[in-house]
Structure 1
Amino acid sequence: MDEQVPQVARFPFREQARKHLKSAEELLCGEGQQLVYACLELRLAIEAIVYETLQAYEKNLSPDVAEAHQHWQPNKVLELLSAHDRLVDTSLRVQVREVGENGAPVGGPPLFDGIDRRLTVNWVEKAHRSHGSFLHQRTVSQLKKGKSIDETKLRTEANRIHIRLKEVLGSEVYGIQFAGGLPICCETCGSDLAATMASLILDGVADVKCATCNVSRLVELDKTTGELRYVHKITATG
């Protein structure tokens, strides 16, 4: 009978990433084979950070991106998650402010100001791949040509990756998700609609279509009041 694996509600990937990063820091002080091991620790840290992101989304994943659980390559995981949430690899700044009677934020310093620093799909792909060649046995051709590992190049690249990972793991807040969207009424029929946060943040505007009257319009977020407003004329869709 197969041994039953205990079910874990949440794996501590962020803590694991910090451990890998600390090991990499110590190894980067050395040379030779220690630098090779530092590359391995950095790659493991990248994977742990991305797996933590996947774990945060797993309860709300749509079937078409649920296959992200089957991939070990971190860039593939983020690519699939981005189909579910365009903000998955976008660093976000969060401010908490007191709201006045008119609904607008009160002036002065925010009650909280933090950044959720995230790894992008392109950065993860390049960083994860850049150390790949150092984690394999030297080929016969390389050995015959006397090509040794370029320690200077390796250390420079490893330090670059280390700095970015340290920034991400040092984020004041992390794991932010914007479910649904901001509410707005259809100007034509008064139906309740919602503008997606991802579009408002990344594009500055969001396309809102009313299923009741089949009307589509663009809306934008007023940065002063935080309210939505229509910015284009009504378009009836087929």
Structure 2
Amino acid sequence: MSIYRSRARAALASAQSELASNEDQHLKYAALELRMAIEAVTYDRASAYKSEFPPQEYETWQPKKVMAVLLEIDSTADSDSTISLGIEPSPGERPEVMHDLGKEVVFNLKAIKRHYDALGNFLHVPSIKQTLSGSLPGPEKIRNRCEEIARDLEEVLASKVFNSTLGIFSSFDCAECRVRIRKRMPRDKDQVIADCFECKASYTITRTSDGKFETETRTQEIPCPNPGCGHPAVIFPREVSEGEYWICEKCGGRNEFKLGILHHPAN
């Protein structure tokens, strides 16, 4: 069990304890613990995609944004699933008997959008507009929402199997830094882009007609802008960004990418 799943269980238990007190002033503490539980189960889900999760997204903490990244990686990342096991009579033929190993319930993006911000609203002093309009959430409404979320989280954490991420993958060593790259191949796509998380290298992976994968390095040639040179350099697409540069192999000059504005004088 990951540390985040343990934290989710602890936060849920604390929230349930606050709700069990039947004290209205404890509801905000229950809401806070439930928010933390939602964060924890979402981070736990993300940990299952560790090898595919872009390092630049590690600082993302909002569950909605984290789940959005996961759905870019795997369109089924927030879907419930059931894992069953059976023996094929012959390769590719469905087994006559399937043994159920368990169901996984995921706290999906729809649930995050519906509940997470609502819980946050319970943690703040009502705005002037809310006060003047009288649209303040009463204790009963807050309690009902918290109890609903607690039940949903309880079902998620009771899953017999969890963080199953079955898929078709292409794995290969980066030609530049030799770090292993592992890329998921969606069933409905025959070509995807795979970026190395260790360096700037980028690749195109293509599924062939026989079900195998071909990998091609993504590069482009850019000539040295020195008027007296023009020697081409092979550049990765991810290197074309502000501040990146290369040293020309022919003239030795430094060529740096800059954001520029071209001015056209008035006639």
Does the aligned pair in 2 maintain the 1:178–1:197 contact within 8 Å? Answer: no
Aligned-partner SS, 1:37: helix
Displacement after TM superposition at 1:158 (Å): 0.9
List gaps (5 residues or longer) in structure 1.
1-9, 183-195, 200-205, 216-238
Aligned partner letter, 2:101: D
Displacement after TM superposition at 1:104 (Å): 3.5
Query: Structure 1 residue aligned with 2:10, among 19, 35, 40?
Result: 19
- Provide the residue aligned with 1:80 in structure 2: 69
List gaps (5 residues or longer) in structure 2.
171-183, 192-204, 210-267
Counterpart CA distance in 1 for 2:164 and 2:123 is 34
Per-residue CA deviation, residues 101-143 of structure 1 (Å, 9 max, x unaligned), is 56635434x3333111112212112210111111012345656
Does the aligned pair in 2 maintain the 1:81–1:88 contact within 8 Å? Answer: yes
- Provide the residue aligned with 1:122 in structure 2: 110
Counterpart CA distance in 2 for 1:180 and 1:198 is 7
User: Are residues 1:95 and 2:84 paired?
Assistant: yes
Does the aligned pair in 2 maintain the 1:92–1:117 contact within 8 Å? Answer: yes
RMSD, aligned CA: 3.1
User: Are residues 1:176 and 2:168 paired?
Assistant: no
- Provide the residue aligned with 2:33 in structure 1: 41
Percent pairwise identity: 27
Aligned partner letter, 1:153: K
Per-residue CA deviation, residues 30-61 of structure 1 (Å, 9 max, x unaligned), is 22221111111111000000111122212223
User: Are residues 1:67 and 2:56 paired?
Assistant: yes
Does the aligned pair in 2 maintain the 1:21–1:45 contact within 8 Å? Answer: yes
Aligned partner letter, 1:13: Y
- Provide the residue aligned with 1:52 in structure 2: 44
Does the aligned pair in 1 maintain the 2:60–2:66 contact within 8 Å? Answer: yes
Aligned-partner SS, 1:28: helix
- Provide the residue aligned with 2:246 in structure 1: none
Larger radius of gyration: 2
- Provide the residue aligned with 2:179 in structure 1: none
Counterpart CA distance in 2 for 1:40 and 1:22 is 12
Does the aligned pair in 2 maintain the 1:87–1:198 contact within 8 Å? Answer: no
Aligned-partner SS, 1:59: coil
Q: TM-score with structure 2 length normalisation? A: 0.59
- Provide the residue aligned with 1:164 in structure 2: 152
Counterpart CA distance in 2 for 1:20 and 1:92 is 25
Counterpart CA distance in 2 for 1:174 and 1:121 is 17
Counterpart CA distance in 1 for 2:105 and 2:8 is 15
Aligned-partner SS, 1:57: coil
Greater share of helix: 1
Counterpart CA distance in 2 for 1:38 and 1:198 is 39
Does the aligned pair in 1 maintain the 2:79–2:108 contact within 8 Å? Answer: yes
| Equivalent residue pairs, number | 184
Aligned-partner SS, 2:102: strand
Give the direction of change, closer, same or farther, for the CA distance of 1:97–1:197 in structure 2 (3 Å limit): farther
Per-residue CA deviation, residues 179-217 of structure 1 (Å, 9 max, x unaligned), is 3269xxxxxxxxxxxxx8854xxxxxx35579698x7xx
